[in-house]
Chains A and B, each alone.
Chain A
Amino acid sequence: MADTSIVPTRDIHVAPIARARMDAVVLRILTLTFTLFIIAYIAIPVVVTLVMSFNDAAVIRFPIKAWSLRWYADFFNSPQWVDALKSSVIIALGTTLISTVSGVLAAWAFERFTFAFKPLVYLLIMLPLFMPGVVLGLGVAMAFGDVSMFGVDIYGSRMLVILAHSLWAMPLVFMLMEATFRTVDHRIVEASYDLGGRPFQTFFEIVLPSVSTGIISSALFAFVISLNEFVMALFLTTRDTQTLPVLMWLSLRSAGTPRLAVASVILAAALFVSLSLIIVWYTRQLRKT
Chain B
Amino acid sequence: MSAAADNIAMRRKPNWRVRLTPWLLMSPALLIAIAFFGLPIAFMGRMSFNEHIDQRFFVPGFTLDNYAAMLTDPTFSAALWTTMRLALISSIVTVIIGYVFAMLVWLKPKRWRLAFIALALCPLLISEISIIFGWWMFFPKNGLLSYALVSSGLITDKISLMYTEFAAFVGLTYVTLPFCFFILLSIFDGVDKKVLEASADLGAAPVRTFYEVLLPLTKGGIAASFAQSFIWAVGTYATPSALGPDTLWTIGYLIQEQMLGKHNWPRAAAFSMVLTLGVAVVMMIIRLLSSKRTVLNG
Of A60, A167, A260, the residue contacting B37 (CB under 8 A) is: A167
A16, A31, A125: the one contacting B29 at CB < 8 Å is A125
The answer to whether A230 touches B129 (Cβ under 8 A) is: yes
Measured as residues with beta carbon below 8 angstroms from the partner, the interface class of chain A is: 35 or more
**B294–A179 contact, CB under 8 A?**
yes
Whether the Cβ atoms of A121 and B30 lie closer than 8 Å is: yes
Chain B, residues 115-129, CB within 8 Å of chain A (1/0): the string is 000111111011111
Q: Give the interface segment out of B59-67, B72-80, B131-139, B188-196.
A: B131-139
With A42-B122, A136-B37, A245-B129 as contacts: A193 and B8 at CB distance below 8 Å: yes
Whole-angstrom CA separation of A48 from B151 in the bound complex? 17
A105–B238 touching, CB < 8 Å:
no
Please give, as numbers and ranges, the residues of chain A lying within 8 Å of B204 by CB-CB distance.
Answer: 1
- Min CB gap A141→B, angstroms: 8
Known: A48-B137, A48-B138, A63-B147. Is A106-B6 also a contact (CB below 8 A)?
no
A42 with B133: in contact, given A111-B2, A132-B275, A186-B5 (CB under 8 Å)? no
Q: Indicate which residue in B25, B118, B142, B144 contacts A106 across the interface (CB closer than 8 Å).
A: B25
A141: chain B residues within 8 A (beta carbon): 259
Interface flags for A42-70 (1: CB within 8 Å of B; 0: not) read 11111011001000000111110000000
- Find out whether the CB atom of B37 lies under 8 angstroms from the CB atom of A190: no
Task: Say whether A38 faces chain B, with CB atoms less than 8 Å apart.
Answer: yes
Interface residues of A in 236-280 (CB under 8 A from B): 245, 248-249, 252-253, 256, 260-261, 264, 267-268, 271-272, 274-275, 279
Q: Which A residues contact B (CB, under 8 angstroms)? A: 1, 4, 12-13, 16, 19-20, 23, 27, 31, 34-35, 38-39, 41-46, 48-49, 52, 59-63, 98, 101-103, 105-106, 108-115, 121, 124-125, 127-128, 130-136, 138-144, 163-164, 166-167, 170, 174, 179, 186, 189-190, 193-194, 199, 224, 227-231, 235, 245, 248-249, 252-253, 256, 260-261, 264, 267-268, 271-272, 274-275, 279, 282-283, 285-286, 289
